[in-house]
Amino acid sequence: MNEVVDSTLAALAILAQVSAVVVVALIVAVTVNPRARASFAGSWATLSRQAVWLAWGVAAVATIGSLYFSEIADYLPCRLCWYQRIAMYPLAVVLLVGALLRDRRVTLYAAAFPLIGAAISIYHIYIEVNPEAESAACRAGVPCSTRWIDEFGYVTIPVMALSGFVLIGALLVLAAISGRRAREGETTA
């Protein structure tokens, strides 16, 4: 069963990577090109209305996946995994509350978590690739260079976390831009 769940979560990480590229490309296109803005107006409006909910879905799946790895699959989290969890778990709560309350400011008070989490994930990936760079603190207990999962030739647990953080960050940027445009529309009306 672990192999099926590992592969499924790794495939979701790849889907998150592709989705993040699409969202960033859409943001860039709509921001710099007026013709693209007109072409994607319907898609932009739909996606921006759902961006916080989508970000919450990513955070919820990442949190459940993380808990599955440690509580069911018995993969022991290392020190860096714990730091990534500290950045991801609050997002599942903060984004849910922000989405339920339709609070446009959720992008502000959630923004630090994906930034910090992504930085930790990048460092963790570096340690996996370069185990000799691992600090003594990382070698104590469960080494941070341990690869519990290695799917599709590159998807490890920190790659999954980075994929989630990047997609959440891109969706929050999308929500912030659309929220700013909505506020600008309210002030000019």
The single residue listed with the structure tokens 């909910």 is 53
Q: Where are the domains of the chain?
A: 2-188
- Give the orientation angle of helix 157-188 with respect to helix 41-71, to 10 degrees: 150
| Residue 186 pLDDT | 47
**For residue range 135-175, what is the model confidence (pLDDT) as tens digits?**
887 777 889 888 999 999 999 999 999 999 999 999 999 99
**For residue range 6-52, what is the model confidence (pLDDT) as tens digits?**
999 999 999 999 999 999 998 998 888 888 888 877 777 788 889 99
| Residue 2 pLDDT | 84
| Residue type, position 156, single letter | T
pTM assigned to the model: 0.90
Architecture of domain 2-188: Up-down Bundle (1.20)
Burial class (CB in 10 A: 0-12, 13-18, 19+), 140: exposed
In the three-class reduction of DSSP (H, G, I as helix; E, B as strand; rest coil), residue 183 is classed as: helix
Higher pLDDT, 82 or 1: 82
